[in-house]
Amino acid sequence: MLKPPAKGKVRRATRTDIPALIKLNIAAYPVLADDNIVWGEAHLASHLRIFPQGQFVAVVKGKIVGAAATWVVDLGPDTLRNHTWSGITDSGYFNNHDLDADTLYGADIYVHPDARGVGVGAAFYDARRKLCKKLNKRRILPAACGTTRTMRTSFRRRSMRNWLRRGSSAIWCSVFSSGKVFNCVG
Protein backbone atom coordinates (compact mmCIF):
# COMPACT_ATOMS: atom_id res chain seq x y z
CA MET A 1 0.00 0.00 0.00
CA LEU A 2 1.22 3.48 -0.83
CA LYS A 3 1.59 6.31 1.65
CA PRO A 4 -1.30 8.81 1.89
CA PRO A 5 -1.18 11.87 -0.37
CA ALA A 6 0.31 13.85 2.54
CA LYS A 7 3.53 12.08 1.49
CA GLY A 8 2.86 12.93 -2.13
CA LYS A 9 1.40 15.86 -3.99
CA VAL A 10 -1.29 16.95 -6.41
CA ARG A 11 -0.05 19.05 -9.30
CA ARG A 12 -1.22 20.17 -12.72
CA ALA A 13 -0.86 17.57 -15.43
CA THR A 14 1.55 18.23 -18.28
CA ARG A 15 1.85 16.97 -21.82
CA THR A 16 4.75 14.73 -20.78
CA ASP A 17 2.35 12.94 -18.38
CA ILE A 18 0.09 11.71 -21.20
CA PRO A 19 1.68 8.25 -21.73
CA ALA A 20 1.54 7.54 -17.98
CA LEU A 21 -2.07 8.81 -17.81
CA ILE A 22 -3.14 6.46 -20.58
CA LYS A 23 -1.60 3.49 -18.72
CA LEU A 24 -3.13 4.68 -15.43
CA ASN A 25 -6.59 4.99 -16.98
CA ILE A 26 -6.36 1.41 -18.26
CA ALA A 27 -5.23 0.16 -14.82
CA ALA A 28 -8.00 2.09 -13.06
CA TYR A 29 -10.77 1.00 -15.45
CA PRO A 30 -9.81 -2.42 -16.85
CA VAL A 31 -13.37 -3.29 -17.90
CA LEU A 32 -13.75 0.01 -19.75
CA ALA A 33 -10.32 -0.52 -21.28
CA ASP A 34 -11.48 -3.87 -22.66
CA ASP A 35 -14.25 -1.94 -24.44
CA ASN A 36 -11.80 0.83 -25.47
CA ILE A 37 -13.69 3.41 -23.40
CA VAL A 38 -10.77 5.15 -21.72
CA TRP A 39 -8.95 8.43 -22.31
CA GLY A 40 -6.73 8.37 -25.36
CA GLU A 41 -3.84 10.63 -26.27
CA ALA A 42 -6.08 12.95 -28.32
CA HIS A 43 -8.51 13.36 -25.40
CA LEU A 44 -5.79 14.14 -22.87
CA ALA A 45 -4.00 16.54 -25.21
CA SER A 46 -7.31 18.32 -25.80
CA HIS A 47 -7.91 18.66 -22.04
CA LEU A 48 -4.46 20.18 -21.57
CA ARG A 49 -4.87 22.54 -24.51
CA ILE A 50 -8.36 23.72 -23.57
CA PHE A 51 -8.16 23.99 -19.76
CA PRO A 52 -4.72 23.04 -18.39
CA GLN A 53 -5.40 24.40 -14.90
CA GLY A 54 -8.24 21.89 -14.49
CA GLN A 55 -6.15 18.76 -15.18
CA PHE A 56 -4.55 17.29 -12.06
CA VAL A 57 -2.30 14.35 -11.23
CA ALA A 58 -1.43 12.85 -7.86
CA VAL A 59 2.20 11.82 -7.47
CA VAL A 60 3.47 9.52 -4.72
CA LYS A 61 7.13 8.48 -4.58
CA GLY A 62 7.69 9.95 -8.05
CA LYS A 63 4.89 7.89 -9.64
CA ILE A 64 1.57 9.21 -10.97
CA VAL A 65 -1.08 7.30 -9.02
CA GLY A 66 -4.19 9.28 -9.92
CA ALA A 67 -5.61 11.92 -12.21
CA ALA A 68 -8.59 14.24 -12.38
CA ALA A 69 -10.12 15.84 -15.47
CA THR A 70 -12.08 19.06 -14.95
CA TRP A 71 -13.37 21.94 -17.05
CA VAL A 72 -15.94 24.76 -16.96
CA VAL A 73 -19.32 24.33 -18.60
CA ASP A 74 -22.64 26.13 -18.80
CA LEU A 75 -25.35 23.85 -17.46
CA GLY A 76 -28.09 26.45 -17.28
CA PRO A 77 -30.46 26.78 -14.34
CA ASP A 78 -30.94 23.01 -13.76
CA THR A 79 -27.46 21.65 -13.06
CA LEU A 80 -28.82 18.19 -12.29
CA ARG A 81 -30.82 17.95 -15.49
CA ASN A 82 -30.61 14.63 -17.27
CA HIS A 83 -27.66 14.60 -19.65
CA THR A 84 -25.16 12.12 -21.02
CA TRP A 85 -21.50 12.12 -20.12
CA SER A 86 -20.58 11.98 -23.81
CA GLY A 87 -22.83 14.93 -24.59
CA ILE A 88 -21.69 17.16 -21.76
CA THR A 89 -17.99 16.42 -22.39
CA ASP A 90 -18.20 16.67 -26.20
CA SER A 91 -17.26 12.98 -26.46
CA GLY A 92 -14.48 13.49 -23.93
CA TYR A 93 -12.69 16.33 -25.74
CA PHE A 94 -14.04 19.28 -23.63
CA ASN A 95 -14.46 21.49 -26.72
CA ASN A 96 -17.52 23.06 -25.07
CA HIS A 97 -15.36 24.54 -22.29
CA ASP A 98 -16.63 28.00 -21.38
CA LEU A 99 -14.46 29.86 -18.88
CA ASP A 100 -17.25 32.44 -18.44
CA ALA A 101 -19.74 29.78 -17.29
CA ASP A 102 -20.39 29.16 -13.59
CA THR A 103 -19.96 25.40 -13.17
CA LEU A 104 -16.69 23.55 -12.70
CA TYR A 105 -17.48 20.07 -14.03
CA GLY A 106 -15.56 17.07 -12.73
CA ALA A 107 -15.50 14.73 -15.72
CA ASP A 108 -13.38 12.00 -14.17
CA ILE A 109 -11.15 10.92 -11.32
CA TYR A 110 -9.13 7.78 -11.76
CA VAL A 111 -6.78 6.24 -9.23
CA HIS A 112 -4.47 3.25 -9.56
CA PRO A 113 -5.94 0.26 -7.67
CA ASP A 114 -2.88 0.14 -5.39
CA ALA A 115 -3.40 3.77 -4.36
CA ARG A 116 -7.10 3.61 -3.51
CA GLY A 117 -8.25 4.29 0.01
CA VAL A 118 -5.38 6.60 0.99
CA GLY A 119 -7.01 9.95 0.20
CA VAL A 120 -6.06 10.54 -3.42
CA GLY A 121 -9.66 11.27 -4.45
CA ALA A 122 -10.12 13.61 -1.50
CA ALA A 123 -6.95 15.45 -2.49
CA PHE A 124 -8.39 15.94 -5.99
CA TYR A 125 -11.61 17.37 -4.57
CA ASP A 126 -9.57 19.77 -2.44
CA ALA A 127 -7.72 20.87 -5.59
CA ARG A 128 -11.02 21.29 -7.43
CA ARG A 129 -12.53 23.33 -4.59
CA LYS A 130 -9.48 25.64 -4.57
CA LEU A 131 -9.72 26.05 -8.35
CA CYS A 132 -13.45 26.73 -8.13
CA LYS A 133 -12.90 29.49 -5.58
CA LYS A 134 -9.92 30.92 -7.46
CA LEU A 135 -11.97 31.17 -10.66
CA ASN A 136 -15.00 32.46 -8.72
CA LYS A 137 -17.26 29.73 -10.06
CA ARG A 138 -20.60 29.02 -8.45
CA ARG A 139 -20.28 25.26 -8.00
CA ILE A 140 -18.59 21.97 -8.79
CA LEU A 141 -20.69 19.25 -10.33
CA PRO A 142 -19.16 15.76 -10.16
CA ALA A 143 -19.87 13.93 -13.42
CA ALA A 144 -22.00 11.11 -12.08
CA CYS A 145 -24.39 13.45 -10.26
CA GLY A 146 -26.14 14.43 -13.44
CA THR A 147 -25.29 11.87 -16.07
CA THR A 148 -28.31 9.61 -15.91
CA ARG A 149 -31.56 9.66 -14.05
CA THR A 150 -31.19 5.90 -13.51
CA MET A 151 -27.90 6.27 -11.63
CA ARG A 152 -29.29 9.06 -9.47
CA THR A 153 -32.45 7.14 -8.63
CA SER A 154 -30.58 3.90 -8.05
CA PHE A 155 -27.97 5.56 -5.84
CA ARG A 156 -30.62 7.14 -3.60
CA ARG A 157 -31.83 3.63 -2.79
CA ARG A 158 -28.41 2.23 -1.92
CA SER A 159 -25.69 3.10 0.49
CA MET A 160 -22.09 3.54 -0.62
CA ARG A 161 -21.28 0.13 0.86
CA ASN A 162 -23.99 -1.53 -1.25
CA TRP A 163 -22.73 0.16 -4.40
CA LEU A 164 -19.26 -1.20 -3.71
CA ARG A 165 -20.65 -4.68 -3.00
CA ARG A 166 -22.38 -4.60 -6.39
CA GLY A 167 -18.96 -4.19 -7.97
CA SER A 168 -19.26 -0.54 -8.95
CA SER A 169 -15.99 1.24 -9.35
CA ALA A 170 -14.84 2.84 -6.11
CA ILE A 171 -13.82 5.83 -8.17
CA TRP A 172 -17.29 6.41 -9.58
CA CYS A 173 -18.76 5.94 -6.12
CA SER A 174 -16.43 8.52 -4.63
CA VAL A 175 -17.40 11.00 -7.33
CA PHE A 176 -21.06 10.18 -6.87
CA SER A 177 -21.16 9.76 -3.10
CA SER A 178 -22.72 13.05 -2.04
CA GLY A 179 -25.33 13.19 -4.78
CA LYS A 180 -25.04 16.97 -4.36
CA VAL A 181 -23.41 19.88 -6.04
CA PHE A 182 -20.45 21.35 -4.17
CA ASN A 183 -21.08 25.07 -3.69
CA CYS A 184 -17.95 27.16 -3.96
CA VAL A 185 -19.08 30.75 -3.73
CA GLY A 186 -21.43 32.40 -1.31
Global pTM reads: 0.76
- pLDDT at position 144 is 57
**How far, in Å, CA of 131 to CA of 78, rounded?**
22
> How many C-alpha atoms does 163 have within 13 Å on its Cβ side?
20
- pLDDT at position 34 is 77
- pLDDT at position 85 is 78
Q: Which of 55, 64, 51 is nearest to 9 (CA)?
A: 64
> How many C-alpha atoms does 75 have within 13 Å on its Cβ side?
28
For residue 110, pLDDT over 90 is answered with yes
- pLDDT at position 5 is 55
- pLDDT at position 27 is 94
Please state, as a whole number, how many other Cβ atoms lie within 10 Å of the Cβ of residue 127.
18
DSSP type of residue 102 = S
**pLDDT tens digits, 136-177:** 998 888 875 433 333 444 444 444 444 344 433 333 333 333
Average pLDDT on 24-29 reads 93
Contact criterion met (CB below 8 Å) for 143 and 171: no
- pLDDT at position 35 is 78
Break the chain into its structural domains and give their ranges: 5-75+85-183
In terms of pLDDT, which residue wins out, 76 or 60? Answer: 60
163-170: which pairs have CB atoms within 8 A and are 24 or more residues apart? 169/28, 169/29, 170/116, 170/117
- Please report, for residues 28, 31, 126, 144, 155, the alpha-carbon distance to residue 148 in angstroms, rounded to integers and kept in the order given: 22, 20, 25, 8, 11
Mean of the per-residue pLDDT values of the chain: 77
Q: Span 5-75+85-183: which CATH code?
A: 3.40.630.30
What single-letter amino acid sits at 12? R
Element (H, E) at 165: helix 160-165
Q: Which of 61-65, 84-88, 118-122 has the highest mean pLDDT?
A: 61-65
Band the pLDDT of 87: cuts 50, 70, 90: confident
**How far, in Å, CA of 178 to CA of 4, rounded?**
22
**How far, in Å, CA of 60 to CA of 66, rounded?**
9
